[in-house]
């Protein structure tokens, strides 16, 4: 090279610890770099663990959230089911309470019916006691009449001396005899009523009624009644019909209404006149229907005013006999 030429030196550019320096081709001697500051590894570990925990928490929330919603829905469903069961239980209990109330009301009605029956029996007993007292009074009056008659009979020999007085005495005796006969007849009737009552005959409206406990056909029942100086009962008024069905209490009983042939007219076996216009109110609605063209006898089957039903005469049911209050000649 020429001497006047400047020697070109190459500069090198380096960055060392953020210091910029230029030096010739031959690098300067290396300087000792200062020691780096000491870091703390546990801080990084904590940060990493915190990030991992947060990520795990978020992941768990993402996974468990639908399950939590499902459980909440299940709880709501269970609550609704419990409410439904509670409502059903309430309805059932209300129904049972109503049933118990209805049973209590039925029991109350039965008690009232029993009280009514007891009252009727007491009235019957009081009636019999009154009749017995009346008979006793009549018997005492009869005894007094006998005493008077005996006294008059004792005076007859003396009174024969005076024809006029004897005639008057005979007139008095005759009147006493008539009175005595009247009293005797009345006493006999009262005694007959008591005797019939003791034989299960019931007295109503001047007649006696026998309500059988045995069952017979219509013809056998009428034969039984005739052997006891009676006939199967006739019905002549609403009061008599009411008396019969109240005593019968819904049990079927033969009565004395019948007809001959399917086209015959109805008549009472004891000869009582059957008046259709008056008796139609006692038939059950739709009766008589002569089912099978063989229903020619009548039963009382209901505990109501409309209680008559036509039936085949061969059927066996209980029956009611009826006869007047006067004792028969054989009594």
Phi, psi of 93 (to 5 degrees): -65, -40
Q: What is the spatial distance between Cα 281 and Cα 306, in angstroms, rounded to a whole number?
A: 6
Q: What is the CATH number of the domain that holds 258?
A: 3.10.100.10
pLDDT at residue 330 greater than cutoff 70: no
Percent of the chain whose pLDDT exceeds 70: 84
pLDDT at residue 246 greater than cutoff 70: yes
pLDDT at residue 149 greater than cutoff 80: yes
Domain co-membership, 234 together with 319 = yes
**What is the average per-residue pLDDT within 263-275?**
92
Domain co-membership, 279 together with 187 = no
Domain co-membership, 164 together with 214 = no
Q: Does 79 fall in a domain?
A: no
Find the domain containing 157 and state its range. Answer: 120-198
Domain co-membership, 140 together with 187 = yes
Start-to-end CA distance of the chain, whole Å, equals: 193
301 vs 93, higher pLDDT? 301
Task: Enter the tokens of residue 39.
Answer: 């870091």
Q: Does 330 fall in a domain?
A: no
Pick the most confident of 107-116, 123-132, 201-210, 290-299.
201-210
Domain co-membership, 313 together with 216 = yes
pLDDT at residue 139 greater than cutoff 80: yes
Domain edge (last residue) among 174, 198, 222: 198
Of the listed ranges 20-29, 112-121, 169-178, 228-237, the least confidently predicted one is 20-29
List, in order, residues 6 or more apart from 155 with CB less than 8 Å away: 169
Q: Does 78 fall in a domain?
A: no
pLDDT at residue 231 greater than cutoff 70: yes
pLDDT at 331: 42
User: Are β-strands 253-259 and 295-300 bridged in parallel, bridged antiparallel, or unpaired?
Assistant: antiparallel
Domain co-membership, 192 together with 144 = yes
pLDDT at 304: 94
Q: Where are the beta strands (DSSP E) in the chain?
A: 12-16, 19-23, 201-204, 207-211, 231-232, 253-259, 266-268, 295-300, 308-312, 318-323
Domain co-membership, 246 together with 222 = yes
Domain co-membership, 173 together with 262 = no
**What is the average per-residue pLDDT within 116-139?**
88
pLDDT at 207: 95
Domain edge (last residue) among 198, 221, 246: 198
pLDDT at residue 328 greater than cutoff 50: no
Domain edge (last residue) among 150, 178, 198: 198
Q: Does 154 fall in a domain?
A: yes
**What is the average per-residue pLDDT within 37-52?**
79
Task: Enter the tokens of residue 181.
Answer: 């006969």
Q: Does 160 fall in a domain?
A: yes
- 1 falls in which pLDDT band (50, 70, 90)? very low
pLDDT at 235: 97
Domain co-membership, 221 together with 294 = yes
Of the listed ranges 37-46, 79-88, 110-119, 256-265, the least confidently predicted one is 37-46
Q: How many folded domains does the chain comprise?
A: 2
- 309 falls in which pLDDT band (50, 70, 90)? very high
pLDDT at 74: 85
- Please state whether 293 falls in left (phi above 0), alpha (psi between -120 and 50) or beta: left
**What is the average per-residue pLDDT within 249-261?**
94
* Average of per-residue pLDDT values in the chain: 83
Q: Does 36 fall in a domain?
A: no
Of the listed ranges 151-155, 200-204, 299-303, the least confidently predicted one is 151-155
- 19 falls in which pLDDT band (50, 70, 90)? low
Domain co-membership, 245 together with 289 = yes
Domain co-membership, 187 together with 218 = no
> Whole-prediction pTM value?
0.45
Domain co-membership, 219 together with 187 = no
Q: Does 275 fall in a domain?
A: yes
Q: Does 170 fall in a domain?
A: yes
Task: Enter the tokens of residue 137.
Answer: 């009074």
Pick the most confident of 111-125, 193-207, 297-311.
297-311
Pick the most confident of 56-70, 87-101, 156-170, 317-331.
87-101
pLDDT at 21: 52
């Amino acid at each position: 090279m020429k001497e006047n030429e400047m020697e070109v030196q190459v500069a090198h550019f380096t960055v060392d610890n953020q210091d910029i320096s230029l030096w010739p081709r031959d690098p300067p001697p290396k300087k000792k770099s200062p020691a780096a500051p000491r870091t703390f590894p546990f801080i990084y570990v904590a940060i990493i663990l915190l990030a991992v925990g947060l990520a795990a928490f978020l992941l768990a929330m993402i996974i468990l959230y639908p399950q939590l919603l499902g459980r909440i829905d299940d709880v709501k469903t269970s609550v609704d089911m419990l409410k439904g069961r509670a409502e059903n239980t309430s309805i059932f209990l209300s129904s049972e309470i109503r049933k118990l109330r209805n049973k209590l009301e039925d029991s109350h009605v039965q008690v009232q019916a029993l009280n009514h029956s007891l009252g009727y029996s007491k009235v019957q007993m009081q009636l019999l006691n009154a009749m017995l007292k009346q008979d006793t009074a009549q018997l005492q009056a009869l005894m007094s009449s006998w005493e008077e008659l005996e006294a008059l009979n004792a005076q007859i020999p003396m009174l024969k001396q005076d024809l006029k007085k004897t005639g008057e005495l005979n007139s008095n005796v005759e009147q006493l005899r008539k009175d005595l006969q009247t009293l005797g007849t009345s006493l006999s009737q009262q005694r007959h009523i008591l005797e019939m009552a003791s034989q299960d005959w019931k007295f109503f409206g001047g007649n006696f009624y026998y309500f059988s406990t045995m069952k017979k056909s219509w013809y056998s029942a009428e034969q039984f009644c005739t052997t006891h100086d009676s006939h199967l009962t006739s019905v002549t008024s609403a009061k008599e019909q009411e008396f019969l069905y109240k005593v019968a209490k819904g049990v079927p009983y033969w009565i004395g209404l019948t007809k001959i042939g399917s086209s015959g007219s109805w008549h009472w076996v004891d000869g009582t006149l059957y008046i259709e216009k008056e008796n139609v109110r006692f038939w059950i609605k739709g009766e008589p229907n002569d089912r099978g063209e063989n229903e020619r006898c009548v039963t009382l089957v209901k505990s109501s005013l409309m209680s008559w039903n036509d039936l085949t005469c061969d059927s066996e049911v209980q029956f009611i006999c009826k006869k007047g209050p006067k004792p028969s000649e054989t009594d």
